[in-house]
Chain A
Amino acid sequence: MDYLIVFIVGIISSITGALLGIGGGIIIVPALAIILKLPMQNAIAVSLATIVSTSILVTAENVKKNMINFDMGLSLELTTSVFAISASFIAVNLSQHILKAAFGFFLLFIAVFMYKKPKKKDAPCDSSSRYSYFDPKLDKTVYYNVEHPYMAVAISSLAGFLSGLLGIGGGVVKVPILNGVCRIPMKVASSTSALMVGVTAAAASFVYLRHGYILPYLVLFTSLGAVFGSKIGLYISKNSKNETIEKIFVVVLIVTAVEMIIKAFS
């Protein structure tokens, strides 16, 4: 029964990822902690390992399409991984209550962030720019430059810390940084973020693995659910408007956040 629940959780996390760009840990951690009543460290560890598996599959596709800015990805990932590892060392020694409260407040932040969604900023095309990729939808090569790389390194480190501490991928922080701060086109930003998220999660997961917090069978079923769910998510995103789903998701996030905070203080 537990395996079926985690399989469904994997599907839902993947569908929300495809529809809203937010999934993974934000769904998996509270679902495992509230429904299966797993300790927070186990929920975080399973979430991180699942994020690694989904990142691998997404990156495998993006690598072929040449959609990843490896230059930026590698530069940001160095500090992000260090912060993720440090945070996971802290997390394995923290109490359940603190982790639940931290996750609850983080969910509230995400709900507000989704409600006041920042606008997508794509860089202007210029053939003298340093980087480029071919956009099949526009049927042309898009040129772009990377701006404010040092600021991105600093903010990305925060994403790494949150990833190791709360078991989230950190795409919700990384994509707006790459797109909004560095002015990398949205498609490249999300592809680069998908690669970074996997490396960050793998770095943090090793700490949880050493402490015995990763439950392999749950990882298997959430990963398979995520693979299955990504196909459903792509189908739904082509045939529906995201605005209604977004509003429902914001409400679900707030309810989950409140429940986690209440449990943390009870």
Chain B
Amino acid sequence: MKIISYLLKIGFYISMAFIMAGLLIKHNIGGLDLSTAGISVLLFTPIFLIFSLSIFYLYKKDYKKFLLAVLLIIVLIVNIFL
């Protein structure tokens, strides 16, 4: 669980760094808008949290929670491509 906590913080700071870089550099790098990339990292972090939890529950052989986490990931991923 401590690892998940650190990864969440890393996700937050990376996203903020990307948005900040987008604000300072003000032009796209290789067609990538840095600030939008930062927002994407930010929005993917909770999905990553649920993914980490699913791995954790699979490892703990708690299949009910694993299934719930997988279903939630499916809902979130499908939403991105709708």
- Does chain B have a CB within 8 A of A181? no
> Smallest CB-CB separation from A86: which chain B residue?
B79
Which of chain A's residues have a CB closer than 8 A to the CB of B65? 70-71, 74
Interface window among A33-41, A49-57, A232-240: A49-57
Which of chain B's residues have a CB closer than 8 A to the CB of A63? 1-2, 4-5, 8
Query: With A63-B8, A74-B65, A216-B38 given, is the CB distance from A56 to B2 under 8 Å?
Result: no
Q: How many residues of B contact A (CB 8 A)?
A: 39
Bound CA span A214–B40, Å: 11
- Does chain A have a CB within 8 A of B58? no
Which of chain B's residues have a CB closer than 8 A to the CB of A135? none
Which of chain B's residues have a CB closer than 8 A to the CB of A155? none
Interface of A is mostly: helix
Bound CA span A236–B2, Å: 29
Contact B43 A64 (CB under 8 A): no
Contact B75 A81 (CB under 8 A): yes
> Smallest CB-CB separation from A214: which chain B residue?
B39
Query: With A55-B46, A214-B39 given, is the CB distance from A206 to B80 under 8 Å?
Result: yes
Bound CA span A82–B43, Å: 16
Query: Which residue of the partner chain, among B5, B19, B79, contacts A64 with CB atoms under 8 Å?
Result: B5
What is the distance, in angstroms, from A72's C-beta to the closest C-beta of chain B?
A: 10
Query: Which residue of the partner chain, among A49, A70, A74, contacts B42 with CB atoms under 8 Å?
Result: A49
- Does chain B have a CB within 8 A of A61? yes
Which of chain A's residues have a CB closer than 8 A to the CB of B5? 60-61, 63-64
Contact B75 A82 (CB under 8 A): yes
Contact A216 B79 (CB under 8 A): no
Which of chain A's residues have a CB closer than 8 A to the CB of B4? 63
> Smallest CB-CB separation from B2: which chain A residue?
A64
Contact A217 B19 (CB under 8 A): yes
Query: Which residue of the partner chain, among A56, A85, A216, A220, contacts B46 with CB atoms under 8 Å?
Result: A56
Query: With A74-B69, A203-B76 given, is the CB distance from A56 to B12 under 8 Å?
Result: yes
What is the distance, in angstroms, from A107's C-beta to the closest C-beta of chain B?
A: 26
Which of chain B's residues have a CB closer than 8 A to the CB of A59? 8, 49
Contact A60 B9 (CB under 8 A): yes
- Does chain A have a CB within 8 A of B71? yes
Bound CA span A203–B69, Å: 14
Query: Which residue of the partner chain, among B22, B46, B79, contacts A52 with CB atoms under 8 Å?
Result: B46
Query: With A61-B5, A70-B65, A209-B39 given, is the CB distance from A202 to B16 under 8 Å?
Result: no
Query: Which residue of the partner chain, among B2, B39, B43, B68, contacts A78 with CB atoms under 8 Å?
Result: B68
Would you give the 0/1 interface string for A67-87, flagging 1 where the beta carbon is closer than 8 Å to chain B? 000110011011001100100
> Smallest CB-CB separation from A224: which chain B residue?
B16
Bound CA span A202–B39, Å: 10
Bound CA span A206–B23, Å: 21
What is the distance, in angstroms, from B19's C-beta to the closest C-beta of chain A?
A: 4
Would you give the 0/1 interface string for A202-245, flagging 1 where the beta carbon is closer than 8 Å to chain B? 11011101000010110110011000000000000000000000
| A-B CB contact pairs (8 Å), 12 listed | A53-B16, A71-B65, A78-B68, A78-B75, A81-B72, A81-B79, A85-B75, A202-B45, A202-B76, A207-B82, A209-B43, A223-B16
